[in-house]
Structure 1
Amino acid sequence: MQRSKPKRRAQADEGPRRSFLCTHDGCGKAFSRSEHLHRHEKNHTDGDATCGRCRAHFKRQDLLERHMSRHRRKDEEAGGEGVLNTRKRMWKDHAGQIVQKKPVEKTALGNANLGTSSIPQTDGPISPPVSSHHSDLPSDSDPTLTPFTNDHYQLSAGSLNVQGANGYWVPPEIPQARPFDPFLDINYDEAFQPDTASSFNMPFTTQINYDWLFSLDNNFSSPATSMTPYVVGTNQLTPIDPNQASTLSDTRQYERGTIESPLAPMPSLNYTRSGPSTQDMISRSTSSGESLGPSPPTKLVSPDAYGGNPEVEFERPLATLQKANRLPLIDNYTYTQILEAIKSARPLAPNGSLLDVNHPLLSYPLVQSYCDLYFTRFNTAYPLIHQAAFEPSRKEPLLLLSMILLGATYSDKEMHKLAVCIHDVIRPAIFSHASFNPRPELWMLQTILLVECFGKSRAGQKQHDMSHLFHGMLINLIRRSDCQSVRPTRPYKENESDWVGDHQWRHWVESEEKKRLALLCFMWDTQHAVLFCQSLCMSAFELRLPLPCSQALWEAPSAVEWARISISTTPEPMYLLALKSYITHDVQRISHLNGLSRIIIFHGLMSIFWDMRRRDQTSLGVISLGRRWQSRISAAYQAWKEDFDHFCFGLSDLTLTEMNKRTTSESAKVELDVWRTAYVAVYHAAHVLLHSEFLDIQIFAGARHILGRSVQRTDFMRSEKVVRRWATSCAADNPDGSSDAAAAAWHAALLLQSASHTLVNFDSMGLFHVPWCLYLATLTIWTYHHTSPKGLNLGFGPEDDSELVWDTQAEMRAIVDSMVEAGVDGVPQIQGLKRTGGLVWVMAEVLSKVRWGIVHAGVTVLKGLIPRRLILEFDESLI
């Protein structure tokens, strides 16, 4: 049956178009057609539509018919009588009474009816087997939904032990019995696939997606448990104070017939004013009242009063845990195949001649060094390829070549230029390969992703534009694979490690690589969409898989070591449930998150923000509720930042402990600080973009090309109006009382201060996004002060006064530190009173050393801001 379009809640000033008003007390909805009102009125009755199979009760017959169609679909999938796990909250018992808990089936009082006689009897909840769409998925059931239970398996909040051995039913091919954890599984059919169209068009987010994501009373509690919200800690479930759960009443379940947003306003954010000495804590809310002091220097840092933070396991985000004993070795035969792949592609050398494969920079020792650089520089920052299981002699030459080219970009400048020349001709070789097809193998997807990564972030403007053109193809190929839904299986009990051999380990490695390919591709897609103001190609709702495993498990050198570590490692939570926990952070806290998982989650929040902004821009006149969702996203950002800071503090203590024991390198602490600063830069950049239109800022600052299109005079005039209106916006734009411009400028200052204090010469150790974040922050601060209504225009260097020596570094520190110290509320008082010339000059000089064509285009813009700008007098043909 065709779903009716949602209707807005009737307003007092609406015209006669909606003349059919619901007279039920407290409702007030209006409809344009009488049959719509008649159908709506049934929602206010008890109804008589009950499913004869599962006793689910509905108020309308059409809802029951839709429910029965899902039963039939499950039956077809199961090849018999399937099981439908519905989220229904209303049931009819055998006495004819409407109840909130699913009634016990009379035919299911014995253990023999639980689906298999081999399942031992336990005291915990048991869930029946559910039909699965994919062989890699352990189960399609959702442990947060109502289990199929009897009187012997009653689930109560008081007796629930997260760390206990009791668990939900898992298919017999999965050896482990997972503990009950609301983040380990999710029923995607019920949450995201209400019909066939939604099932086959996953890239297009729907209202149901966001209703699920922003709902506080969905998927986390079961009718069999107390309705009090719970925070998942390490050892127990701790109830939240009822006062903290008051926002539950501000949201409601998805209901067809209304378009009211489920995004309830969040409490205001009181930004902390802080000086340079406390820059690690500058973005924390003063209302939290929680101490984030260093945790005890132990191997595992137990959570303190900072409710619900995870334990911290030692890891090294930009290096391997142990010094690499063996990097993958390229033998002579494999080296010859790599040269043949280069020769057949016929690349041109930097001087324009045909490249000779006997070039000195392509000698065997240097090619091996480029492969080593890939694993020691790129793969440590973006762990895509499993180093211990990687055997070059068994890999395709195109994959090896893509890895070698990326590694070469970390070498000297001459080799970097040569790598760009080879990169320019590698795509035709990929497309003409016999393995390139609509459902390619994993190695082909990895090759295409690495080639795109090279073009977008390690080369010039031409390579960036070409990679952007083929980006959609990569996303579509990933969708056709199982990378977005794979669930790697591994042992969880000691008695299960006996049967684990090399074959099982390598199968897990392949599944984990598929998962990481999808997650890293999503991360880069989000970065380029949000930071460069482009279009999203991949939705967070497509990622129906767990988060990445721990670094120790990922780097296990053998099957035996992998099995040993796996037994002591908790299961990875599902990505979407972890993402939801930060949107509704006052209901649940997630535990056991490693560093990479936290980064992926934050990019999910950025993706949600960018998609919500797109929905606002394409609403076709529907009244925007932007301030409501923006406050929710801002609160989610801050919740993530607080957890991230606490994680980094604990990891820093562990790193110092390991350094004192001489079990890790002396550079580990520096690497951790750089990694933390790099992703704090993303956090502040996300806030800047939340409160500004960066495309307009770039055009106003003098950018000649945006997204491959030349900027015209009319574009500049339009952007100038937008930017000046933004810079002079009132202080009532946001719930915390700050203006958008002040909030954006303040976060930009925090970004630059953090980077200048931690990054030596602003070197981010190869993390791609940092240079662009520095450029974004610099332009934002310059624009904020340059458009000041005070009109002082103190920003162009020593020609403004009689100074003989222009100390650009001191001038940069002066403006950045003053903005940070002023706080978000005090920034408007100093707008236009500080010179920006020193900041612009320093950042232009720093970014000019980055080997990235996109950043060089930004440097050109920055250099144009140092002398007095004449852009308004440019002829249209020159713009």
Structure 2
Amino acid sequence: MSVDMAVTPTNARPSKRQRTSDASIGALQCQVCHRTYERADHLNRHLDSHRNERSFQCEECPAAFNRRDLLLRHQATHTKNAKDGLVGPNRVAERATKACNSCVISKVKCDNGRPCKRCQKKGLSCVTKFSDSSSFTQSTTSEQPPQVFATPADDQVNPNGFDDDIQLNGVYLNEASDEAQALLDLYNTTSYAQHTIPAFFEQIMVPAPDFMGVDYMQAPPDLTAWMPETDWLGQVDIFGNDFTPTVSQMLEAPVSQVTALPAATPPANTDVSLEKIDSDSARRRHAVFKQSAWFWIPERNQHAFSEHENIALDERNVDLASSPHMPYASNVVIPDQLSSAARDRIFQLVSKTAQSQITIPSFPSAECVDKLIKVGIAKRTETDAWIHPYTFESETARPEYLTALVAAGCVCFGVLSVSRTGLALQEIVRVALNRLSENDNSVIRDLEYLQASMLWLDIGAFCGYRRKMEIAESSLQSLVTALRRAGRFDHIRYPAITPSAQDSDEELQTKWKRWVEQESYKRLVYHLFEHDIHMTMAKHRPPLITYAELTLILPASKTLWLAPSAETWRIRYLEMDIVASRPSLQTHLKDEAAILCLPVDIDAQVARSSYLHGIAAQIWEYAQQSALMHEDSDPSSQLWARSRQEKLYHYLQREDLLPGNSPAVTCLFHQFLQMYLHVNLDLITRFAGKCGESAANSAYTHLSPWSQTKEARIAICHAGQVVRAARHIPPYQIRGPDSFMLYHAIMVLWTYSMMMRDRAKKTGTTTPMRAQPSSFLSKVIYLDDAASENQTSIHSFILMNSGIPCLRIISTHQPVASESGVADRPEICNLKYPSQVMKVGVRLLDTTHPDVDRETGPPLVRALCGLMEELGGLR
């Protein structure tokens, strides 16, 4: 039976006079206690008292306050005592920040000393059991049964800070809910011993003055430890019998017949075991660990084809298009047919580029190469479609361009031997293009040369092999410079080309091809810009292209772009209502409302995507400016930074991007940017051990107070939405920057979980939610549910830190129903357990490639899964 009562803390101050609500000032009403205020700053100060974050910390003692004036008053006590020759504040006159348990039970005055004077005098155990800093008074309008939180005098606190068996009943969870019951099972079956913090983090998660670096401390794993560098191909035939098996062959072939990549192992002489490790191996791991996640050490005599020595190229006539891994979902029919002469030109380029370093006894047939090229072209039409499928002519195309398309087609497949071939050809294209530009400098203005360069950069940037990824990252500058110096970023280079009903067939054909060439440059530039931003966000380096210099008009709509003939193009063009002034990315960034009313002849998908990436570039700039801010910075600069953050967040929230109306990859990037805006990812990676224990401890000192703020709760809410968007990406498609964004989102959730656990352990509370009112404890908040389904709960969690943040652990790429027709209840990941958070990420990446063993899947996905398993202690 519920009673209309409010749960009031025993140490609460007397309630202030309740102000009557007025419609004119309803916006300045506290949603917790329903007090109203006439000024917004008064309301914000009042909300700070509810949140009880105590962000104003005294530098001379452990005291912390919610208001700056209280801190200044407290510091005045230090100043006065210092003048009187006393050390610290007057403990007799000062009110205790937190009373010990014995004093609370006896209802007597306590002091800030530990042990306090009363416990010392009476010989009692002085233990302080903190309540969660975000507890607050329940609204008087809520109807909840009264709750009594009694603490017996002989209560002994678990030295680890957590009870081994946390008993949750109806006070904390609503057992009528299946999801709440699942969380109850998680609490009751999970002991603290199963979720201990690794030794590395135990030693670095201390205040800076108490930190002492230890040489023999085992560092967490580095991503480079899971990324292969050389000998990734081995003595195999990249065009062998299993190059492109048919559906029946693939389904019937036993696992033992599949030639797998060697396991991605840490550097030599390094033991990855968490249980058995000596000090020497720990030092070696630590030396590797201090390097950047993308650090590659070039070796003497290592060259482009050192990984492919003595590889015989032999292809059997098999059907590539029957791969069950859905290399592309486009319905575009490419009319071109590769001839034997064109196939021979590709073979000549491969043999000439590799010279005597690779033996080539045979080469795929023209039919097989033709299918690979068409896959490479059609795959690009799924997103920004920056290669035109209907004007492609293999007879006149450069062999470097054809070979790049073959490599792009190979890497689209989930078949090991096919993707392996694509990586080998990608290396050949890179070397061939460099030689071509050295022999003839004019080719750097040729469209096919530029498109071939973009293709191999797309393949290498996120292939999962350190050497290839670093070379691709460093080579991006050349392509950016070539397009910039050619003036392709400026609208001046794109004169209007319009068909008319009076054009002859020859004139129309000429106009169409000129128009297609212009559009190809536009789409290439915008694709390059998005690629550059992905590299910036995933690898933490400055962008090479500024959004302000892109004044070229946005690409035409796909209706015009994918017109199969010149006549169809003219008909569609004349039927459209073409506006005189067509927008560019710069136009949309100047006027935020312009993105909401796009002309019909503009590619809406490219426009929205480029706008999102333009905002991403501004977010990067904001992050760099914020890195220079500190508490003593000029107030106007701090105000500008805060205003800029709010403005960028407003831009992102205006975009209505949902999996139903936008590609899932775009939705993932949209949520990632909102997360990025509220968290420093560099600090996250440093805390995880990227740069060693000293840097990890320094990051911890910044992240610990951040984890208790509204900023942190906003960040993890959007991180949960990144996880949700990743589940909507079609199978076998997560292998590039989207996998890195998902990894960073999991790392943000894991860091928040680590801070939550560390805070609860040090304060001696069983769970950070324990001292909150039961009405909010009973609310389980799934951060990876649709935002529209639990919007109220999310807002309550963000503003007041109320509820239990959780994720779902799903074992399939899409939630499936059981044989009874009822959807299986997924496991629940409570953010209290860091290892469970990593389990969510590993399970999700594994399920994105169904029926594919991790060792034969994309190398980057394999590396990320290995790293998260090590950090989460799942091995």
Output the TM-score relative to the length of structure 1: 0.50
Equivalent residues in 2 for 1:265-664, closer than 5 Å: 320=330, 323-346=331-354, 354-356=358-360, 358-359=362-363, 362-411=364-413, 412-433=415-436, 434-437=439-442, 439-485=444-490, 486-487=493-494, 489-491=496-498, 494=501, 500-569=507-576, 570-571=578-579, 573-580=582-589, 583=592, 589-592=597-600, 594-617=604-627, 623-624=637-638, 625-639=640-654, 641-642=655-656, 644=657
Task: Report if aligned partners of 1:581, 1:589 keep a CA contact under 8 Å in 2.
Answer: no
Q: Describe the shift of the 1:435–1:556 C-alpha distance in structure 2 as closer, same or farther (beyond 3 A).
A: farther
Aligned pair partner of 2:711 in 740, 744, 748: 740
RMSD: 3.6
Q: Which position in structure 1 is the counterpart of 2:32?
A: none
Q: Which position in structure 2 is the counterpart of 1:712?
A: 692
Q: CA deviation at 1:815?
A: 6.4
Letter in 2 for 1:546: I
Q: CA deviation at 1:378?
A: 3.2
Letter in 2 for 1:676: P
C-alpha distance in 2, partners of 1:576/1:815?
A: 33
C-alpha distance in 1, partners of 2:863/2:696?
A: 17
Aligned pair partner of 1:769 in 737, 755, 759: 737
C-alpha distance in 2, partners of 1:419/1:793?
A: 50
Q: CA deviation at 1:698?
A: 2.2
Q: Which position in structure 1 is the counterpart of 2:684?
A: 697
Q: Which position in structure 2 is the counterpart of 1:862?
A: 868
Q: CA deviation at 1:439?
A: 4.8
Letter in 2 for 1:844: V
Q: CA deviation at 1:745?
A: 0.3
1:782 aligns with 2:762: no
Q: CA deviation at 1:371?
A: 0.7
Q: CA deviation at 1:860?
A: 2.8
Task: Report if aligned partners of 1:328, 1:390 keep a CA contact under 8 Å in 2.
Answer: yes
Q: CA deviation at 1:858?
A: 2.6
C-alpha distance in 2, partners of 1:414/1:458?
A: 15
C-alpha distance in 2, partners of 1:714/1:722?
A: 13
Structure 2: where are the runs of 5+ without partners?
1-176, 180-327, 763-779, 806-829
Aligned pair partner of 2:663 in 658, 668, 676: 676
C-alpha distance in 2, partners of 1:583/1:696?
A: 31
Partner secondary structure for residue 868 of structure 2: helix
Q: Describe the shift of the 1:549–1:488 C-alpha distance in structure 2 as closer, same or farther (beyond 3 A).
A: farther
Q: Describe the shift of the 1:590–1:631 C-alpha distance in structure 2 as closer, same or farther (beyond 3 A).
A: farther
Partner secondary structure for residue 346 of structure 1: helix
Deviation string for 1:412-433 (max 9, x for gaps)? Answer: 2112112212323432321211
Deviation string for 1:7-48 (max 9, x for gaps)? Answer: xxxxxxxxxxxxxxxxxxxxxxxxxxxxxxxxxxxxxxxxxx
Letter in 2 for 1:422: L
Structure 1: where are the runs of 5+ without partners?
1-274, 278-317, 653-674, 705-710, 730-738, 795-811, 870-879
C-alpha distance in 1, partners of 2:345/2:609?
A: 37
Q: CA deviation at 1:354?
A: 2.2
C-alpha distance in 2, partners of 1:375/1:818?
A: 34
Deviation string for 1:393-436 (max 9, x for gaps)? Answer: 11100011111101111232112112212323432321211344
C-alpha distance in 2, partners of 1:337/1:493?
A: 39
Q: CA deviation at 1:386?
A: 0.8
Q: Describe the shift of the 1:826–1:617 C-alpha distance in structure 2 as closer, same or farther (beyond 3 A).
A: closer
Q: Describe the shift of the 1:716–1:436 C-alpha distance in structure 2 as closer, same or farther (beyond 3 A).
A: farther
Partner secondary structure for residue 663 of structure 2: helix
Q: Which position in structure 1 is the counterpart of 2:841?
A: 843
Q: CA deviation at 1:357?
A: 5.6
Task: Report if aligned partners of 2:838, 2:868 keep a CA contact under 8 Å in 1.
Answer: yes
Q: Describe the shift of the 1:818–1:468 C-alpha distance in structure 2 as closer, same or farther (beyond 3 A).
A: closer
Q: Which position in structure 2 is the counterpart of 1:687?
A: 674
Task: Report if aligned partners of 1:483, 1:517 keep a CA contact under 8 Å in 2.
Answer: no
Q: Describe the shift of the 1:327–1:721 C-alpha distance in structure 2 as closer, same or farther (beyond 3 A).
A: farther
Q: CA deviation at 1:355?
A: 4.1
Letter in 2 for 1:460: Y
Deviation string for 1:370-391 (max 9, x for gaps)? Answer: 1121122234334121110110
Report which stretch shifted further, 850-859 or 461-470. Answer: 850-859
C-alpha distance in 1, partners of 2:859/2:479?
A: 22
Equivalent residues in 2 for 1:87-126, closer than 5 Å: none
Task: Report if aligned partners of 1:379, 1:385 keep a CA contact under 8 Å in 2.
Answer: yes
Identity, % of aligned positions? 17
Deviation string for 1:647-675 (max 9, x for gaps)? Answer: x86xx6xxxxxxxxxxxxxxxxxxxxxx6
Equivalent residues in 2 for 1:44-59, closer than 5 Å: none
Q: CA deviation at 1:474?
A: 1.4
C-alpha distance in 1, partners of 2:574/2:761?
A: 63
Aligned length: 483
Q: CA deviation at 1:560?
A: 0.9
Task: Report if aligned partners of 1:491, 1:497 keep a CA contact under 8 Å in 2.
Answer: no
Q: Which position in structure 1 is the counterpart of 2:24?
A: none
Q: CA deviation at 1:441?
A: 1.4
Q: Which position in structure 1 is the counterpart of 2:265?
A: none
Deviation string for 1:163-187 (max 9, x for gaps)? Answer: xxxxxxxxxxxxxxxxxxxxxxxxx
C-alpha distance in 2, partners of 1:344/1:389?
A: 28
Q: CA deviation at 1:753?
A: 2.5
Q: Which position in structure 1 is the counterpart of 2:721?
A: 750
Partner secondary structure for residue 538 of structure 1: coil
C-alpha distance in 2, partners of 1:574/1:414?
A: 45
C-alpha distance in 1, partners of 2:396/2:570?
A: 24
Q: Which position in structure 1 is the counterpart of 2:291?
A: none
C-alpha distance in 1, partners of 2:837/2:732?
A: 19
Task: Report if aligned partners of 2:400, 2:433 keep a CA contact under 8 Å in 1.
Answer: yes
Task: Report if aligned partners of 2:374, 2:409 keep a CA contact under 8 Å in 1.
Answer: yes
Q: Describe the shift of the 1:618–1:424 C-alpha distance in structure 2 as closer, same or farther (beyond 3 A).
A: farther
Higher Rg: 2
Letter in 1 for 2:649: S
Q: Describe the shift of the 1:818–1:448 C-alpha distance in structure 2 as closer, same or farther (beyond 3 A).
A: closer
Task: Report if aligned partners of 1:543, 1:576 keep a CA contact under 8 Å in 2.
Answer: yes
Q: CA deviation at 1:591?
A: 4.3
Partner secondary structure for residue 648 of structure 2: helix
Partner secondary structure for residue 861 of structure 1: helix
Q: CA deviation at 1:771?
A: 1.8
Letter in 2 for 1:635: H
Q: CA deviation at 1:343?
A: 0.7
Letter in 2 for 1:339: F
